[in-house]
Amino acid sequence: MAVERDGDSYTTRRESREALVLATLDFGPRRDPKLDTTLAFFDHMLEMLGWYADINVDASYEVRTYRLMHVVMEDVGLALGAAAGQAISDRIADGVESSGFSYGMMDEASALAQISFEGRANTFVKRGGASSFERVEDVLCVDLVAFFEGFSQGARCTIQLDLFDDSNDPHHAWEAGFRAFARALRAAFVANPRRAGMTAGVKGTLD
């Protein structure tokens, strides 16, 4: 898995026997995303990720063996996470927050997300109410967790996501979660010259 930088754009190419994944985080001017993961609801959530993080997010998934939902979401998460981790690393010299948190909501649903880039991969997702249903649109809810697990592994960051929703609509519950995560990610990328050369953790390195 390799991340290539082109100006303000970071693209990860992840190739395996199962699939070819291309994923991009583009910090340039806003444009329409290019999303084709084969999963409609997941594409919609990645659209929300870019919209609320103020980052252009592209992702494509080419199936080579079996189209397994958890593999699609985990692999895309790994690729986007790797791009995010490289983008954070490139900003450390000039100073970057490297951590962030935010609430997100959609109508009756709400969520809290926290993220910290410290060189460790941890994912803690608490699912309540409709987010714990079996399915949402064309995917399994549990497989959406695999996206965050993949992202944390690719980025070597810690993610905490609490889905507070107690309604009957899993679409709203998960969209609130992705909105919260996106805004937490946006906060982590905020420039902070006072933190030049520093990381989120006091050890001072992402290794």
**Tens-place pLDDT, residues 139-155:** 999 999 999 999 999 99
- For residue range 51-75, what is the model confidence (pLDDT) as tens digits? 999 999 999 999 999 888 899 999 9
101 located within any domain? yes
Q: Looking at the predicted structure, is the pLDDT value of residue 166 above 70?
A: no
Considering the entire predicted model, what is its pTM? 0.95
200 located within any domain? no
pLDDT of residue 148: 98
* CA-closest candidate to residue 22, choices 9, 32, 41: 9
- For residue range 184-195, what is the model confidence (pLDDT) as tens digits? 999 999 999 999
201 located within any domain? no
Q: Looking at the predicted structure, is the pLDDT value of residue 82 above 90?
A: yes
Domain that holds residue 77: 2-195
64 located within any domain? yes
Q: Is 203 exposed, middle or buried (0-12, 13-18, 19+ CB in 10 A)?
A: exposed
* CA-closest candidate to residue 77, choices 178, 165, 188: 178
36 located within any domain? yes
172: confidence class by pLDDT, cuts 50, 70, 90: very high
A 10 A CB-CB count for 132 gives 14
Q: How many domains does the chain have?
A: 1
Which CATH number fits the domain that encloses residue 53? 3.30.230.40
CB contact at 8 A, 61 and 76: yes
85 located within any domain? yes
